[in-house]
């Protein structure tokens, strides 16, 4: 594969509860190996129909606030037409319309350009699928 494009798949155990998983350090480690000080773009993609990628502050309650907001917007009840899995699982299939399954971020001199409090996170409300894959791709 060309030095201009490098990709890696992360296996993430998100567990059997709603979670926001901080992937920032994984992204930084990947860029240390693949970007080699170059400018470019990092694409983060989750190939699942029931998870998303968010750029959000973590550790100060914002991650819990995001999950609470999603529970308000997408309640786990029987209103959903998509009805397999745990009760209310149909809402998990609507999640990617609100929290997209991808983010593309600038990389300058091999480093991820995030704001002071920003983190790259997997958002997973699907309690039926505890194992996720996240693809990191650097183009530079």
What is the CATH superfamily name and number for domain 21-139? Answer: YjbQ-like (2.60.120.460)
State the pLDDT at residue 2: 59
Least confident residue range of 15-19, 39-43, 115-119, 123-127: 15-19
**C-beta separation of 23 from 12 below 8 A:** yes
Closest C-alpha to 47, from 9, 90, 74 = 9
Closest C-alpha to 132, from 15, 8, 32 = 15
User: What is the edge-to-edge ordering of all strands in the sheet holding 131-139?
Assistant: 5-13, 131-139, 40-45, 102-108, 111-112
pTM of the model: 0.94
């Amino acid at each position: 594969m060309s030095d201009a494009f490098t990709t890696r798949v992360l296996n993430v155990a998100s567990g059997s509860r709603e979670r926001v998983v901080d992937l920032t350090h994984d992204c930084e480690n990947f860029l240390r190996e693949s970007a080699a000080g170059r400018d470019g773009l990092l694409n983060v993609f989750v190939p699942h129909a029931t998870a998303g990628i968010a750029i959000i502050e973590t550790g100060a309650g914002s991650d819990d606030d995001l999950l609470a907001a999603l529970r308000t917007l997408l309640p786990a009840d029987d209103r959903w037409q998509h009805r397999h899995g745990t009760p209310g699982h149909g809402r998990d299939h609507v999640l990617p319309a609100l929290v997209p399954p991808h983010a593309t971020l600038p990389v300058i001199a091999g480093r991820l350009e995030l704001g002071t409090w920003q983190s790259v996170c997997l958002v997973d409300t699907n309690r039926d699928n505890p194992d996720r894959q996240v693809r990191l791709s650097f183009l530079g």
